[in-house]
Amino acid sequence: MPEILNPNPSKLAMVPFVSVDDMMKIVNTIGAPKIIAEIAEYVEADFLRWDQFDKTPRVAAHSKEGVIELMPTSDGETYGFKYVNGHPANMARGFQTVTAFGVLARVDNGYPVLFSEMTILTALRTAATSAVAAKHLAPKNSKIMGVIGNGAQCEFQALAFKEVVGIDTVHLYDIDPAATKKAVHNLSNSGLTVIACKSAEEAVTGVQIVTTCTADKQCATILTDNMIGAGIHINAIGGDCPGKTELHKDILLRSDIFVEYPPQTRIEGEIQQLDDDHPVTEIWQVMSGQAEGRISDNQITLFDSVGFATEDFSALRYIRDQLERTGHFVELDLLADPDDPRDLFGMVQRASDK
Amino acid sequence: MPEILNPNPSKLAMVPFVSVDDMMKIVNTIGAPKIIAEIAEYVEADFLRWDQFDKTPRVAAHSKEGVIELMPTSDGETYGFKYVNGHPANMARGFQTVTAFGVLARVDNGYPVLFSEMTILTALRTAATSAVAAKHLAPKNSKIMGVIGNGAQCEFQALAFKEVVGIDTVHLYDIDPAATKKAVHNLSNSGLTVIACKSAEEAVTGVQIVTTCTADKQCATILTDNMIGAGIHINAIGGDCPGKTELHKDILLRSDIFVEYPPQTRIEGEIQQLDDDHPVTEIWQVMSGQAEGRISDNQITLFDSVGFATEDFSALRYIRDQLERTGHFVELDLLADPDDPRDLFGMVQRASDK
């Protein structure tokens, strides 16, 4: 039974809260690879009903240190939003680059039904989304993935691609060898063959899939044109704001490009380097069979992923469905719920008599 | 000392949470009239530094039953947003028309520093804002206010105008006599002379200030032209979405109109009935002396208030400053904070060993 902070408020007033501690327990109860695979199913199910969602580019507040964003969406029945920050300089100061939390609410009465940490959940859903896209875009029987950037997202990507795509080997590279060492250690019991590499070139040699997940706020060139051979699937995760890219433009020009929501990706993704009318395919169309994904062995496919509100919605929807299964949440007294809805003042006044 | 839900996470991971119960305790510790007056000071202080704020119309998700909105703003140092719903049909179903919660965060690293209920706090800040505006716009020595609509906002308005403007008498009218009876009862020890009226006409007779705070989602005409004499200040609170107005257009044409943030008020306020270029004055300009407020005894002034993000920011800022003073909050384990920021996965993994 979840802990009840305040037993007095009516049930209507209470909103389930999943703390970081709860989220870790949920992940460890279900198992990281399995939870990513299950979230991937929710993500894909929601991409398959793309038309039902209200879609808008995220609402960003930029500052010189980073960005704070709100990412709302709704399927007409349930509303969800995520608060997320992106502060590249945080890591050096001992903070997370990205922290997040999110809310689901009922559209019919506006009452929140879930409040959850989303720093961990975002890591899970990002990996899940990458893997779902790769299932449709990567070469059949892909076995080896190179991961460039071995920060907070790295291990989640590796597990997602093992579980959903079927890879058995990862090549890891980071400009900081300590990051690679950390990831190698964390993946030691994952069932993956893990190879620490001394260069990005080494990490992409012999792979079918390349994942880039670096975090610097600048136009970096993590992958240059000569590093990417025919037939590769590129999963570009690390681009998430204007002025932040990871791939050389020449790679983009050789690739078939798949995105989540074009109005947002044109601003934030790798394709900010290209003309505004450069052709891209929406990934939901591939999933639903309305557009082709990979059509040849020589094709370079690029999933230019920036993260979209529906993916957070899917992840929150999944967590809500696990509350009963796991019991890892507390009830928060978040909503004022007077017996007579018009008597908000009286409720406050009477509280002083208690 | 606040209750700590989980003693293990680092201090960085914890965010103070003010529940409904905490908010009621804060209000009752400080006293409702005093807290409204203190919030009014924060609201005015922030209006006086209007240029420092990022301003945007709220981000609304409309449905047939109502609206869910996110209202973000930032002063460059602190970021804040409110989640708020408006569902006019809720009351008949036993839910609050408006529920809300909000967050403050540090701009420099994106970390939330306060999570608070805002159903009660919105009622407080709305009343505080009305009173601050009236201080600049109402006739000098106003003593009597008519309040049309005796729902959840009514008593807060009455106390705010007593405390900040100096009124001593309220006339109350609602189409439902039970609402008026509730408000009369709640205000019985307020020090105000409270008069229940049988019609809107009766409620506005002999007053210097008229406050309209009804909640129907339709173009209603709560006030008709013949009800408003020269010299009145109208405080129109109830308009907060497209298609929802309270005043007859002819009143608007006779009034000098003051608003919070024109791009939002043109969409949501009473002035949606007027041409897009109808002159309005921004209330912050009156407060700062850059524009004139009331200039004659015969002038009808109208504060066409829809509620703006900076007011919520001010209210949250006030509550944050009361945490130490009152001790009414708990710490929520909301932010994942691994020892090594890059080792999010390892933190989750190690939690299973506990």
Q: Is the pLDDT of residue A183 over 70?
A: yes
Contact B335 A99 (CB under 8 A): yes
Q: Does B283 touch chain A (CB under 8 A)?
A: no
- Of the candidates A94, A110, A341, which has its C-beta nearest B85's C-beta? A110
Q: What is the pLDDT of residues B25-74, one digit of tens each?
A: 999 999 999 999 999 999 999 999 999 999 887 899 999 999 999 999 99
Taking the CA of residue A255 and the nearest CA in chain B, the distance in Å comes to: 30
Query: What is residue B219's predicted lDDT score, i.e. its pLDDT?
Result: 59
Q: Does A179 touch chain B (CB under 8 A)?
A: yes
Mutate: best of B104, B187, B342, partner A, most A CBs <10 A: B342
Q: Is the pLDDT of residue A57 over 90?
A: no
How many Cβ atoms from other residues are within 10 Å of residue A177's Cβ? 12
Contacts of A149 (CB under 8 A, 6+ apart): A174, A212, A213, A214, A215, A222, A238
Query: What is residue B216's predicted lDDT score, i.e. its pLDDT?
Result: 63
- In B, minimum Cα distance to A95 occurs at B341
Mutate: best of A10, A154, A345, partner B, most B CBs <10 A: A345
| DSSP-derived secondary structure for A240-259 | -STT-EEE-HHHHHHEEEEE
Q: Does B71 touch chain A (CB under 8 A)?
A: no
Structural domains of chain A, ranges and CATH numbers in brackets: 11-120+310-351 (3.30.1780.10), 139-307 (3.40.50.720)
Look up the ipTM and state it: 0.91
Q: Give the gyration radius of chain B's Cα atoms.
A: 21
- Which residues in B lie closer than 8 A to residue A330 (C-beta atoms)? 5
Q: Is the pLDDT of residue A287 over 50?
A: yes
Q: Is A240 a catalytic residue?
A: yes
Taking the CA of residue A10 and the nearest CA in chain B, the distance in Å comes to: 11
Give, in order, the Cα–Cα distances in Å from B161 to each of A79, A86, A294, B157, B168: 36, 43, 67, 6, 9
Q: What is the pLDDT of residues B220-265, one digit of tens each?
A: 678 888 888 899 999 999 766 667 788 889 999 999 999 999 998 9
Low-confidence ranges of chain B (pLDDT < 50): 1-8
Q: Does A30 touch chain B (CB under 8 A)?
A: no
Return mean pLDDT, chain A. 92
Q: Does A338 touch chain B (CB under 8 A)?
A: yes
Taking the CA of residue B336 and the nearest CA in chain A, the distance in Å comes to: 6
Query: What is residue A7's predicted lDDT score, i.e. its pLDDT?
Result: 41
Place of tokens 């505006």: B133
What is the mean pLDDT of the segment spanning A161-178?
97
Q: If DSSP codes are grouped into helix, strand and coil, which group holds residue B175?
A: coil
- Of the candidates A72, A95, A120, which has its C-beta nearest B344's C-beta? A120
